[in-house]
A and B are shown apart, each in its own frame.
Chain A
Amino acid sequence: MEERESEPADAAPGSSRRALLQAAICGLGAAIAGALGLPALAYLLTPSKSRQQDSWIEIGEVDRFQAGAPIEVAFRRSRADAWKVVSEKDTAWVVKRADGGVTAFGPQCTHLGCAYHWDDGRQQFLCPCHSSLFRMDGTVISGPAPRPLDRYETKVENGRLMVGPLQISNQRQV
Chain B
Amino acid sequence: MKRQLESLLAWLEDRTGLPGAVEHFLDEKIPASGGCHQVFGSVAMFLFLTQAFTGILLAFNYAPTPGEAYNSLRYILTEVTGGRLIRGLHHWGASMMIMVVVLHMVQVFVFGAYKKPRETTWMLGVVLLLLTLTYGLTGYLLPWDNRAYWGTVVATKIAASAPLAGPYMTRLLGAAKGVGVVTFARFYAVHVLLLPPATMVLILAHVYLVRRHGVTPQPGDEALPKKPFYPVQVFKDTAAIFLAFAILFTAAVVVKVPLEQLADPTDTSYIPRPEWYFLFLFQTLKFFEGPLEIVGSTVLPGLAVLALIAVPFIDRGQMVKVTKRTVAIAFVLLAAIGWGGLTAAAVMSTPHEATAQVDYSAPTDWIQLSPEEMAGIAYFRDENCAACHSAGSSSGPDLTRTAVHKDAAWMIRHFKQPAAVRPGSAMPPVALADTQLNSLAAFLLKLTPENASALADAPDFAVRGAVVYQTQHCAACHMVNGVGMKVGPPLNGLARRQARSWVDDHFANPQKLSPGSIMPPYQLSAEDKKNLTAYLFTLPE
Interface residues of A (CB under 8 A from B): 2-3, 6, 18, 21-22, 24-25, 28-29, 31-32, 35-36, 39-40, 42-44, 46, 48-51, 82-84
Contact = CB atoms under 8 A, between A and B. Distances in A.
A28 B242 contact: yes
Interface string B449-491: 0100010000000000000000000000000000000000000
Contacts of B75: 48, 82-83
A32 B242 contact: yes
Contact of A83 (B50, B71, B86): B71
A137 B250 CA distance: 57
Given A43-B83, A84-B71, A21 B231 contact: yes
B82 A43 contact: yes
A82 B60 CA distance: 12
A18 B231 CA distance: 7
Nearest to B225: A6
Contacts of A2: 27, 228
Contact of B232 (A6, A21, A44, A83): A21
28 contacts: A2-B27, A3-B27, A3-B228, A3-B230, A18-B231, A21-B235, A22-B231, A25-B235, A28-B238, A31-B242, A32-B241, A32-B242, A35-B249, A36-B50, A40-B53, A42-B81, A43-B57, A43-B81, A43-B82, A43-B85, A48-B80, A48-B81, A51-B363, A51-B365, A51-B454, A83-B63, A83-B71, A83-B75
Contacts of B249: 35
A24 B60 contact: no
Contact of A48 (B57, B79, B235, B363): B79
B74 interface: yes
Contact of A28 (B74, B82, B232, B239): B239
Residue in A24, A32, A40, A43 with the greatest tally of chain B CB atoms within 10 Å = A43
Given A28-B239, A83-B75, 16 more contacts: A3-B230, A6-B225, A21-B232, A22-B231, A28-B238, A31-B242, A39-B86, A40-B82, A42-B81, A43-B60, A44-B60, A49-B81, A51-B363, A51-B454, A82-B75, A84-B68
A24 B86 CA distance: 26
Contacts of A43: 57, 60, 80-83, 85-86
Contacts of B228: 2-3, 6
B15 to A, nearest CB: 21
Interface of B: 27, 50, 53-54, 57, 60-61, 63, 68, 71-72, 74-75, 78-83, 85-86, 89, 225, 227-228, 230-232, 234-235, 238-239, 241-242, 245, 249, 363, 365, 450, 454
A142 to B, nearest CB: 43
A32 B245 contact: yes
A128 B230 CA distance: 70
A49 B83 contact: no
A35 B86 CA distance: 11
Please name the 5 residue pairs, one residue from A and one from B, whose CB atoms are nearest each other, closest first: A83-B75, A21-B231, A43-B82, A83-B71, A46-B81
B319 to A, nearest CB: 25
A82 B72 contact: yes
A120 to B, nearest CB: 43
B234 A40 contact: no
Contacts of A21: 231-232, 234-235
Nearest to A36: B53
Contacts of B72: 82-83
A40 B60 CA distance: 11
Contacts of B227: 6
B20 to A, nearest CB: 12
Residue in A3, A31, A36, A46 with the greatest tally of chain B CB atoms within 10 Å = A36
B366 to A, nearest CB: 12
Nearest to A35: B249
B235 A40 contact: no
Residue in B61, B365, B454 with the greatest tally of chain A CB atoms within 10 Å = B61
Nearest to B81: A46
Contacts of A6: 225, 227-228
B231 A42 contact: no
B60 A25 contact: no
Contacts of B61: 82
A44 B57 contact: yes
Contacts of A44: 57, 60
A22 B234 CA distance: 9
